Amino acid sequence: MRIKRWEKTSSAADSVLVLLTEEDTQNLPNLSALDEGLRVIIAALVSRKDFSGKKGSLLRVPMVEGNLYLCGLGKTGKLKPAVVRDCLTPSLRTIGRQHNKSVRVILGSSETEKYFTVTLGEAVGLCGYVFDKYKTKGEDYEPFALEEVLTENYEPEEFAKGQVLAASQIFSRQTANEPGCAVCPQTMAEKAQSLAEECGLECEVWDEERLKTEKAGALLAVGSGSKNPPRLIHLTYKPENPVCRVALVGKGITFDSGGLDIKPSSFMRTMKGDKTGACNVLGVMRGAASLGLNVEVHGILSCAENMPSGTACRPDDIITARNGKTIEIDNTDAEGRLVLADALCVASELEPDVIIDMATLTGACMVALGKYRAGLFSNDEGLAAKILEASDLSGEPLWRLPLEDEHISETLKSPCADLVNSGERYGGAIFAAMFLKEFVGEGIAWAHMDIAGPDSTDKEYGVYSKGMTAFGVRTCLEYLAEL
């Protein structure tokens, strides 16, 4: 989709979209962006209480030619980039579905302007996304119509940045949306390799033989039940004079059946999405390279398919992770922390300044925080604060959960090995995070994002279409860009 500067001489767009805060609706005479004709119509709609600027509202007014759309942004004092993005994206989505080929976007007040520029690029990139590659596009299939967005507030560089952010998220979503029959660990490796070629990244893949010589016993154990063997993928983005070095680690379970501790069928549904952490790492690597960020970024994807079979690892098995720690398997469905254990060892060996992992790790985190917020755990106050700041800008809500708990700590111990991979039912997200901590190198600032929950959605909302959301990509890019 194109973004173009709007000029008085431009040919008229199909439709007009006006973004207004609640205060703007009370201050129409002073909004210089609106010409007299528009102002009169909007004033009438406001006085009739058809439109009040309420956050997220969208009013369509059919005109002689095309439509006028009014989108509410809520209170001026509460404006931030995430608010504009979450209102603008669904508005453009609706406009594109209502057969408009082009739309002119007008900002009510200058207050909106400072949050608008990057956001428009992002909204334009995200508004038309749906995962429909497997739909046979029959006669009743309606393609998304919107092709062109015009605006007076034209900032090509900022738009381009927004478009990169959108493309990074869509890359992650598109991969995460693929079913288990289409994407297995080897496919993840192929995708990483072609991304590396496209963006000038280094890429190293460890296959099952190499994983054995590298002593990645935990990842191998999780992958042992599947005919699709596991892979550990290491992507590197290296700018010339980086300000620091960050390792991103992603859980890449291409399907989580639970293994021998098989999941009930209703819980197994959607487990194609258990590779979202790894897909997000691919998205962030793509974004970091396209934006030319001044940070060295290592992306480590730990990929396996968790399946039950005669070769699968069993409950009671004792395995050895890369750092030599032994783990008794209590539950084969607690596989994410196992594949992350080896990946966190590999990341720690790089001696980075920071490690951030993303994982659809526990149902418990979703029970605690709901479907719209991810859990954040960190051993470093400064890092946690920076990530929370990035999350505020990105509009991906995070909530910090504790990483220290003397009682839960006791339950990590096994009578016959160093650790056990699952414990009592309550506090499952904390247990998992504390387990991961055992594999993070001494003195490295580390943060863990448990994205089970917001990783996917069964309804369309804000910037999200049905399916995988790539939740975490924006926050990571925002964090990296601020370093």
Work out whether 155 is an interface residue with Mn ion (CB under 5 A): no
For ligand BES, the binding residues (CB under 6 A) are 256, 274, 331, 333-336, 360-364, 366, 422, 428, 452
Q: How far is the CB of 284 from Zn ion (least distance, A)?
A: 20
Q: Which of 104, 251, 272, 337 is catalytic?
A: 337
Closest approach, Cβ 361 to Mn ion, in A, equals 9
Cα dihedral 268, 432, 449, 78 in deg (nearest 10): 90
Least Å distance between CB 270 and ligand BES?
7
Based on the shown chain and the rule CB under 5 A, indicate whether residue 22 belongs to the binding site for Mn ion. Answer: no
Which of these segments, 233-241, 323-331, 335-343, 454-462, binds Zn ion (CB under 5 A)? 335-343
Decide whether 256 or 261 has the Cβ nearer to Zn ion.
256
Kindly state the smallest distance separating residue 43's Cβ from ligand BES, in Å: 48
Dist. CA 57–CA 67, nearest whole Å: 16
265-294 residues near Zn ion, rule: CB under 5 A: 274
Give the one entry of Mn ion, Zn ion, ligand BES, none that residue 363 binds, where binding means its C-beta sits below a cut-off of 5 to 8 angstroms depending on kind.
ligand BES
Integer angstrom CA distances of residue 296 from 215, 236, 240, 362: 26, 8, 9, 30
Q: Check residue 333 for interaction with Mn ion (CB under 5 A).
A: yes
Q: Please tell me whether residue 457 adopts helix, strand or coil conformation.
A: strand
Q: Which is nearer to ligand BES, 13 or 365 (CB)?
A: 365
Dihedral (CA of 110, 112, 118, 122) sign = negative
Q: Minimal distance in Å, beta carbon 223 to ligand BES?
A: 14
169 is in the binding site of which of Zn ion, Mn ion, ligand BES, none (Cβ under 5 to 8 A by kind)? Answer: none
- Give me the residues paired with residue 299 across strands: 235, 248
Asked whether 61 and 70 are in contact (CB, 8 A), the reply is yes
SS3 67: strand
Instruction: Name the CA radius of gyration of the chain, rounded.
Output: 24
CB atoms within 10 A of CB 299: 29
Does 337 qualify as catalytic in the annotation? Answer: yes
Q: Is 336 in the site for Zn ion (CB under 5 A)?
A: yes
CA 30/CA 104 separation, integer angstroms: 20
Q: Write out the binding residues for Mn ion, residues 254-313 only, by CB under 5 A.
A: 256
The structure tokens listed for 358 are: 């993303």
Q: Rounded to an integer, what is the distance from CA 381 to the centroid of its chain? A: 23
By the criterion CB under 5 A, which residues form the site for Mn ion?
Answer: 256, 333, 335
Q: Which residues are catalytic?
A: 263, 337
